[in-house]
Amino acid sequence: MNSTTSSIAPSPSLAEQAAANLRHPLALALLALTFSTGTVDAVSYLGLGHVFTANMTGNVVLLGFGIARAGGLPIVAPIVSTVAFVLGAGVGGVLARRLADRHRIHIAYTLGLEAALLAGATILAAASHPHPATLAADGTIAFMAAGMGIRNATVRRLAVPDLTTTVLTLTITGLAADSTIAGGTGKGTLRRSSAVVAMLAGAISGALMLRTGLTLPLAFAAVLALATCLAYVYVQRGS
């Protein structure tokens, strides 16, 4: 009896299922959000004055350059972005703990909040047409960064390998280090490559949409977050 029970392999976790199959609903949702990251950072970096709202590694580096008065880079905007991101991540952490056993509701809340904050950024941008280093620009940055903070805390709890939606450093490292050329098995190549392509495509799309102004790419990111939320919650309704 005991030997029979011990021989049964445990069911794979949701993260393991998503990592093993890119067609899994969670993997598809995370890739969609990775795409939106490229769009969001295109808006903040190209349209709001050389600041990131999703990629905090780059943001901290840019802040350091600004403090050193190098390249005319800003100081206030990266600080606003980082503080808003931290606050958003804090909210995301609270939701992750309180809703840990209710996955579908957890995703609905967090992606719904992200969509709402991006919608707020869209409305503010449409109403004020912000230029870099203005109060309106800082407000838009704050809305965007808070949404990204909530999402990052959520994705951190989901813990799907290589699908962090905002950071590609370790993803690209794994892609090279585990490649067959480097003597590895090549496992995870498709997942990692898909994440890189998704963010690249999102950045290109964001930069192109930005030619019309800030409103279109921000509205697109908000709609994409909402659509991802609704689609994933619908698919998971029976889980």
In this prediction, residue 11 has a pLDDT band, given cuts at 50, 70 and 90, of low
What pLDDT does 237 receive?
82
- CB atoms under 10 Å from CB of 186, counted, come to 12
Q: At 86, list the tokens.
A: 């931290």
Residue 203: other Cβ atoms inside 10 A: 19
Q: How many CB atoms lie within 10 A of CB 228?
A: 22
Percent of residues, the chain, with pLDDT higher than 70: 95
**Residue 25 CA: distances (Å) to CA of 68, 159, 214:** 45, 15, 30
Q: Give long-range contacts, CB 8 A cutoff, 24+ apart: 126-134.
A: 126/214, 126/215, 129/213, 129/214, 130/48, 130/214, 132/48, 132/49, 132/50, 132/74, 132/77, 133/49, 133/74, 133/76, 133/77
pLDDT tens column, 150-183: 999 999 999 999 999 999 999 999 999 999 999 9
Q: Which long-range contacts (CB under 8 A, 24 or more apart) does 22-25 make?
A: 22/190, 22/191, 22/194, 25/231, 25/232, 25/235, 25/236
**pLDDT confidence of residue 1:** 46
Residues 6+ apart with CB under 8 A from 132: 48, 49, 50, 74, 77
Q: Rounded to whole angstroms, how far apart are CA atoms 144 and 165?
A: 15
Which residues have a Cβ under 8 Å from the Cβ of 57 and sit 6 or more positions away?
A: 167, 169
Q: How far apart are CA 203 and CA 206, in angstroms?
A: 5
List, in order of start, the domains of the chain with CATH numbers: 23-238 (1.20.1250)
* Predicted local confidence at residue 8, as pLDDT: 53
Band of residue 12 on the pLDDT scale cut at 50, 70, 90:
confident
Task: State the greatest distance between any 2 C-alpha atoms of the chain, in Å, as a whole number.
Answer: 71
pLDDT band at 239 (very low <50, low <70, confident <90, very high): low
Q: What is the crossing angle of helices 189-209 and 215-235, to 10°?
A: 140
